A and B are shown apart, each in its own frame.
Chain A
Amino acid sequence: MRTETATRPAPFRPAILRAVPALGVGAALVALALTLTNDFHLYVAFMAGVYYLCASGMNVLAGYAGQKSLGQAGLFAAGAYTVALLTTRLEVSPVLALAAAPIVAAGVGVLIALPSLRVKGPSLALVTLAFGLVVEKLVTEWTDLFGGAQGVYGIAPLEFQGEPFALRHWVVLVIVLAVATHLLLGHLLNGRFGRALLALQSDEIAAECAGISVYRYKILAFVVAAALCGLGGALVAQQNQYFNSDFVTFHLSVFILLLVLLGGAGNLYGPIAGAAILTATEVFLAQWPSVQHFIYGSMLLFALYLMPTGVAGTIARVLPRKAVAEPVVTGAPLTLSRTTDDPAGGPLLEMRDIAKAFGGVVTADKVGLRLHAHRVHALIGPNGAGKSTLINILTGVIPADSGSIRLAGEDITRASAHSRADRGIARTFQNLRLFGAMTVLDNVLVGAHARIGATGREAEAVAKAAAVLEFVGLAEHAQALAGSLPYGLQRRVELARALAGDPVLLLLDEPAAGLNPRETAELGQLIKRIGRLGVAVLMVEHDMGLVMGISDEIVVLDRGIVIAEGTPREIQTNPRVIEAYLGREEAPADDEADGKEEERAC
C-alpha cells in the first residue's frame, strides 16, 4: 500500500529529543492505567496493547515492505505455545520464557518467509494463509504436545515481589513494551531500513539496482513482524495462564491485517490508530451482540473507500503540514569519494565473450566491452540489437549464459545486482522506475543505501544527497513526491538516484527518451560533467545528435554482435554501421536514425 504522506520528522534532531513525546504519552498512559480499578477496563487496555504490538510488526511487513500476510495467527501461536510449553513442560522461568517467545516466533517467521519470497499478491496471501491454517490444524490435532482444544493450563506468569502479576501490572508492562517498540521502529523506519522497505515495495528491480538486497530485507521484515506477533501471543498466554487452539484462527490473522490497513499502512502511527479504534469498536459493539458483526462488517466494507490511507493517513492529511520545504542544506560541490581511475594495466570494466539467448533469439553473441574511467561511452544500434540486454547483464538484472565481467580487476560475473551496485555500478532505466510515492530526497537517499552503511550516518547522507540534487539542478524539488514531478524532471531524479551511490560506472538506458530538444541539450551537458567527475559512463541512446556530441567512444551493436567501435568521427563513416542502420541498398536517407527497425535488403 502506498502512502502519500511521508511522515518523516526532521532527521537532524537528536534521537533523545525525538523520543520525548512518545515517552511522555507512555508515562501518561501508565499513570492513567494505575488509576483504573475496573478489571474489565484493565483487560481492554491490555488487549489494546497486545494488538498494538502485533500490528506494529505487521505494519513493517505489510505497510512498509508491502507483503500482505494472512498467517499472523500462526506466529501469534508460536509465541504463545513457546511460553506455554517452556513454563509447563520444562519449568523454565517465566521471564526467560517470555524472552524466548519472540525469538522462537522469529525463527518460524523465517520459515514462512522462505516460500513467500518468490510469490506476490494473491499467491503471497495464500502461502501465508496456508501457513496459518497448517499451524491452526497442528495445534488443534496434535493434542499430545499442544493440548488441542483442551489447551495448556498452568502457564507460569511473570511475578512482582513474589506475587503473580496482577492485571494492572500486565497493563503497565504492555505500555512499556509498546512505547519501546514504537521508539525502536520509529528509529529504524525513519531511516535507511524504512526507506529500503518502501523502495522494494514500490519497485523491486529498482531497489535491487540501488544496492538493496531485496531478499534480505524481505526476510528481515518477516522476522520483525513474527517476533512482535509472537511477543503478543506470549503475553496473552501468560496473562491468561492458559492457552488453547481456539485462539489460533484465520479470523485472528485477518484481524491483525485489518489493524494495519484500517489504522494506516506504511504510517508509523497507523498501528496505534488501528489498535485503538478496533479495540474500542469491539467493546462498544459488545453491547448489541445482534448487530455487532453487521456493523463491524460494514465498517470494513466502507472504511478504506472513505479513508484510502487509513485513519492515521487521513488525520495526517487533515492536519496542517509542517513547513513543507525544510530547505535542504547544500554543502560543498559534489565530489565522488571512490577512487575513480582505471586500475593499473586495464580498463575499469572489461566484459568478455558475453553471450545470452532468450529461447532461440540471440541478443548477445560473444560481446566484449572495455569501459574507461573519466570517459563517456555510447552504445548504439538498431532496435532489437541487444543494447538493453547488455545493460541488464552488466547490472546483474539478467544473468549471462556465458562469458565474464571484471570490474576494476575483480570478477563480478556471478555477483548479485545489489552487490554490483554496492561496488559502484549504478544505472537508470529505459522506462522510468522511480519510487513515485517517496520524496525526491528519499529517492536519492535510497540510491545511497549501500554507502550509508548499517550504522546510519544519516546526516552525512542527507548532505551528500543535497549535493547530488544541486548538481543535477533539482535542489528546489527535494521535498516533492517524485511521482508528482513532470516527466523531464523525473528522468533527472533517476539520474540523481544513480549518482548518490558514488558510482564508478554509470549506465544510462536511453536517458534522452521523451525529452524535448532543450532538455536533451541540458542532459548532454550534465552527462559530460558526470564524466569529468571521474565516472565511466555508458549510455544507450537513439538520439544521434546527443551521442555524437558528447561521446568519447562509441560501440555499435547489431543483432547481438559488436560491429564497430571508435570515436564518433570513425563511426559516422563506418560502412558496416551505415549498413546496419540503413540497409545495404540505397534507402531513403534518414539522418535522424531514430532507431526504427529498417527494412533490410538482404
Chain B
Amino acid sequence: MLQAIIGGLTLGSVYALIALGFNLTYTTTRTLNFAQGDFVSVGAFVGLGTVGVLTAALGADAVGYVWFYALAAVAAALAMGVLGLPLYLAAIRPFAGKPGMSWVVSTIGFGIVLQSAALSLWGLGARMLAPPFGDEVFRVGEVGFRSQELVVMALAFAILGGFDIAMRRTALGRCMRAVALNRDAAALMGIDVPRVMALAFLASSALAGLSGVLVAPILSASLFMGVIIALKGFSAAIIGGLTNPRGCMAGGLLIGLVESLTALWSAQWREIMVFLLVILVLAMAPNGMFGRKLVEKV
C-alpha cells in the first residue's frame, strides 16, 4: 500500500512536470502543445543517446554514471527546449490569439514529424536506461522502494518548487504572469509578448524532455511511450485547473496516486479509472478543482 503510494507520487510528480508545461503555454498563449508526448519520448532518447556516447567515450563506472545521467537529463531538457522554438514558430505563432483550434492540428503535425524523424534515427524498439543509483531496493521497515523513485520525486519537487518561486519572484516570472493575465496590457507596458510566448514553449518543451529522461529508467523507453504520459499530464493540468500552476501540480499527484492505487487491484483498469476520474471531475467542476471560474459579463 505505502509502496503503491510512493510509486504513485513518483509518476504523479512526472505528470505534474508535464502539466506545468501545459499551464505555462496555455496561460501565455491560450494554446497547448498536443505533441508534448513526442517531446517526452524524444527527450528520453536524447538522454539515452547522451549516456551511450559518454559511456563509450569515458568508460563506465558507478560513480561516473551518476554524472552521465545528470548530463543526459540536462542535454534532453536543452535539446527539447531548443526544439520548442521551431514548434512555437511553425505551429503556434500563426494561430495564437485567433479563434478556433487550428493549433491542435499543427502541433499534432509537428509531433508526427518529430516522431518520424526520431524513428528513422533510433528505430522502433524499446530500450532500458539504467537508473543512476543502481537497481537495488531500499527497505524501510516493511516498505521497499527503488532509488530511481526517490531521485525522480526529489528532482521533480525541486523543479516544481523552483518554478513556483521563479514565477513569483523573478522579473521574467512576473512578465509571464502579466502576459497570462492580460496580453494587451502587458504589451502596452513594454513586455515583448512574442518573446515571452516563445520562452513559455521553450520551458514547456524542456520540462517534457526532462520528464522523458526521468521516467525512462522506470518504464522502458520507446518512441511511443510519450503519448499516454503526456495525456495524463494533460489530464492533470485540466482537472487541477489549467490556469493554476499549483493546481496542475496537485492534479499530477492525484492522477499518479489514482493510477497506482487502481493498479493494486487490477493493472488493466488503471487507465480506465484515470480517465473516468477526469470525466467525473470535469462534469462536476468544469474549470478543474483549483481553476478560476471565468465569469462572463453580459
0/1 string, A114-158, CB within 8 A of B gives 1: 110011111101110111011001100100000000000000000
Q: Nearest chain A CB to B119's CB is how many angstroms away?
A: 8
CA distance in complex: A298, B28 (Å)? 25
Give the segment of B67-75, B156-164, B199-207, B279-287 that binds chain A. B279-287
Q: How large is the interface on A (under 10, 10 to 19, 20 to 34, 35 or more residues)?
A: 35 or more
Q: Mark B81-111, 1 if CB is under 8 A from A, else 0.
A: 0000000001100110001111011101111
Contact B272 A141 (CB under 8 A): yes
User: How far is A141 from B101 in the complex, measured between Cα atoms in Å?
Assistant: 33
A43 is an interface residue with CB less than 8 A from chain B:
no
B109 closest partner in A (C-beta): A300
Inter-chain contacts of B99 with A (CB < 8 A) = 1-2
A335 vs B203: C-alpha distance when bound (angstroms): 62
Task: Give Cα distance in the complex from A303 to B107, angstroms.
Answer: 12
Say whether B106 contacts A301, CB under 8 Å.
yes
Q: Is A397 an interface residue (CB 8 A)?
A: yes
List B contacts of A115 (CB < 8 A): 279-280, 282-283
Docked complex Cα distance between A303 and B91 (Å): 10
- Binary interface encoding of chain B residues 257-298 relative to chain A, with 1 for a CB under 8 A from any of its CBs, else 0: 000000000001101100110111011001110000000111
User: Any chain B CB within 8 A of the CB of A217?
Assistant: no
Closest to B280 in A: A115
A398 contacts which chain B residues (CB < 8 A)? 298
Given the interface contacts A141-B269, A141-B272, does A297 sit within 8 Å of B279 by beta carbon? no
Report the minimum CB–CB distance from B19 to chain A (whole Å).
Answer: 12
Q: How large is the interface on B (under 10, 10 to 19, 20 to 34, 35 or more residues)?
A: 35 or more
- SS class, residues of chain A in contact with chain B: helix
Question: What 0/1 readout, one digit per residue, does chain B (104-145) give for beta carbons within 8 Å of chain A?
Answer: 111011111111110110000000000000000000000000
Residues of B within 8 A of A261 (CB): 102, 104-105
* A317 touches B (CB below 8 Å): no
Contact of B112 among A120, A265, A297 (CB under 8 A): A297
With both chains docked as a complex, state the minimum distance between the C-beta of B106 and any C-beta of chain A, in angstroms.
5
CB neighbours of B276 from chain A (8 A): 130, 134
Q: Are B282 and A127 in contact (CB under 8 A)?
A: yes
Asked if A250 lies at the interface with its beta carbon under 8 angstroms from chain B, I say yes
Shortest C-beta distance, B294 to chain A (Å), equals 9
User: B280 — which chain A residues lie within 8 A by C-beta?
Assistant: 115
B248 close to chain A: CB less than 8 A:
no
- A262, B108: Cα distance in complex, Å: 13
User: Is there an interface contact between A133 and B298, defined as CB atoms closer than 8 Å?
Assistant: no
CA distance A250 to B232 in the complex (A): 14
Nearest-neighbour CB distance to chain A for B43, whole angstroms, equals: 18
Would you call B101 and A1 a contact (CB within 8 A)?
A: yes
Partner of A127, one of B26, B102, B109, B278: B278
Is A388 close to B, CB under 8 A?
yes
Cβ of B191 within 8 Å of any chain A Cβ, yes or no, is no
Rounded to whole Å, the gap between the CB of A530 and the closest CB of chain B is: 22
Q: Is A491 engaged at the interface, CB distance under 8 Å to the other chain? A: no
Give CA–CA (A430, B282) in the complex, Å: 31
B234 interface residue per 8 A CB criterion: yes
**B100 to A297, Cβ gap below 8 A?**
no
Pick the interface stretch among A76-84, A288-296, A364-372.
Answer: A288-296
Q: How far is the CB of A124 from chain B (nearest CB, A)?
A: 9
A-B contact pairs, 6 of them (CB 8 A): A68-B101, A125-B101, A134-B272, A300-B106, A304-B106, A388-B298
Known: A250-B231, A297-B114. 17 other contacts (CB 8 A): A115-B279, A115-B283, A120-B286, A123-B242, A123-B288, A125-B101, A137-B272, A250-B227, A257-B104, A290-B120, A293-B113, A293-B115, A297-B108, A297-B111, A301-B91, A304-B95, A304-B102
Residues in A lying within 8 Å of B, measured CB to CB: 1-2, 68, 114-115, 118-123, 125-127, 129-131, 133-134, 137-138, 141, 205, 250, 254, 257-258, 261-262, 265, 290-294, 296-305, 308, 388, 392, 397-398, 429-431
The 4 closest A-B pairs by CB, nearest first: A300-B109, A297-B112, A301-B109, A297-B113
